[in-house]
Amino acid sequence: MIREFDTVVLVKDIAEYNLKRGDVGAVVHCYQDGQTFEVEFVTGEGETLAVITLTGVDIRPMQPKEILHVRELSLA
């Protein structure tokens, strides 16, 4: 179950926002249906890249034994 303030992992690229599979975000709002979420994605400096509405198909909870990874943001 995904809850507000959970750390989640994107399971697919979202080119419109320059987000890639594996990017990590934070749930900032859970809708009442329990399957739709507002997720914020930020840079390492804390700059918000996007706050977008996603479903449970687009994200998954981060697992305890996973490690974060850094990638350079390509501005196209």
In terms of Cβ atoms closer than 10 Å to its own Cβ (0-12, 13-18, 19+), residue 40 is: middle
* Domain-located, residue 68: no
The whole domain housing 51 covers 7-61
Q: What does the pLDDT read at residue 74? A: 77
Residue among 22, 25, 54 nearest 38 (CA): 54
* Domain-located, residue 75: no
Assigned token pair, 40 = 């914020």
Q: What does the pLDDT read at residue 76? A: 58
Q: What does the pLDDT read at residue 37? A: 98
Q: What is the pLDDT along the chain (76 residues), one digit of tens a residue?
A: 999 999 999 999 999 999 999 999 999 999 999 999 999 999 999 999 999 999 999 999 999 999 999 999 877 5
Instruction: Say how many domains are in the chain.
Output: 1
* Domain-located, residue 46: yes
Contact 73, 20 (CB under 8 A): no
* Domain-located, residue 14: yes
* Domain-located, residue 76: no
